[in-house]
Amino acid sequence: HYFKLSGDNVELGKTYSELLDRKGTLLTRPMEILLKNPHLLSGWLSLNQNNFEVKDGKVVWLRNPMVVIGETYDYLNMAYREEEPAAEVIWSHDNELLQKALSFYDDLRGKLGLEKEDYFKLNELLQKEKAPKGFDGELWAQARAAHVGFEAGMELFGMIFLIAEKTDFWSLRVEEDLEVTIPDELTDPDLQARMKKVLVPPPATKADEVVAPCGGMYYGQEAPGMPPFVSEGMHFDKDQPLFIIEVMKMFNKVPAPFAGTIDKILIEGSDGVIVQKGQPLFKVSPDEKLVEVDPAEVERIRRERTAEYLDAVL
């Protein structure tokens, strides 16, 4: 995108490249945190619902992206604090850039008589070459150049809005009486089955066996005289204890890595049998069969979706 904007101007292309590199972690660190935590993401999206709109398939910011970025770091409790570990706060060089941008826009709004929420008006003014009242041509050109520099790359953050828009996130609502409105489509059994596979994925293995996780003494029941943990034909749930392995007088219950059915018990005896790491103990049928997906197809879909989102934010 920025390569196209630069055209044949090599120096401008280098400048854009430096600007984008400079903003890399400022944008990607909070994005990664939000996208890894559905609860944080839901709260952030709810707070920022009115900060953008999708117009003709494109994301349009209604508030200054730099202001939203600053508020995002506050929301994530990552505002700069010198005494805190770097991993838990905005990095110092990113904070320096952010504060410089916020200060620039504060001063510019003051000179133009605009409020913090007047970003749309400010952005429209900055698109015009003619200097407004209170600015000479040179100062206005510098302000416009600074605006382009601060805005470059900020489109990336708009992808979060687009993801929410595409998934119809905002159809989930909390009413005035605090009742939650859930869209009818989310109660569709087929959709729920697909969502379950994402939230609780099938075992990432094609093996139809449960093996010993380590060497030691195998016990198939909790204590002498007690019923065995499993029997042939029995269904078991994920994390349900299947057997005990004793190592150096430490008795460890071994949970099921997935849900399934015991087809056959492969080990003879149920108490005090020495087993080796990786030794098959049970033949099983997992509830969810692993469906192999061609990695090349996954990569193709990822690139296709990424290109689609980038096209909407650039």
| Residue of higher predicted confidence among 8 and 104 | 104
Q: What is the pLDDT of residues 187-198, one digit of tens each?
A: 888 888 888 777
309: tokens are 């989102």
132 Cβ contact partners less than 8 Å away, ≥ 6 residues apart: 112, 125, 140
Q: Give the tokens for residue 296.
A: 């090349």
Closest CA to 313 of 31, 117, 4, 54: 54
pLDDT of 79: 95
- What pLDDT is recorded for position 288? 78
User: pLDDT tier at 291 (50, 70, 90 boundaries)?
Assistant: low
Task: Give me the mean pLDDT over the 164-186 stretch.
Answer: 84
Q: For residues 243 and 220, is the Cβ–Cβ distance under 8 A? A: yes
pLDDT over threshold 70, residue 276: yes
Q: Is the pLDDT of residue 32 over 90?
A: yes
> Which structure tokens are listed for 187?
């109660």
d(CA 17, CA 21): 6
Place 224 in a pLDDT band, splitting at 50, 70 and 90: confident
For residue 301, pLDDT over 60 is answered with yes
pLDDT over 60 (residue 261): yes
State pLDDT tens for residues 54-96: 888 788 888 999 999 999 999 999 999 999 999 999 999 999 9
pLDDT tier at 270 (50, 70, 90 boundaries)?
A: low
Residue 209: which H helix or E strand, with range? strand 209-211
pLDDT at 176: 84
Domain ranges within the chain, ordered by starting residue: 2-177+303-313, 209-286
CB atoms under 10 Å from CB of 314, counted, come to: 14
Percent of the chain with pLDDT over 70: 92
pLDDT at 112 over 70: yes
Does 33 score more than 90 pLDDT? yes
Supply the pTM of this predicted model. 0.68
Specify the pLDDT at position 258.
86
- Does domain 209-286 fall under CATH 2.40.50.100? My reply is yes
Q: Comparing C-alpha atoms, which of 34, 32, 50, 53 is closest to residue 42?
A: 34
Whole-number Å distance between alpha carbons of 207 and 151: 51
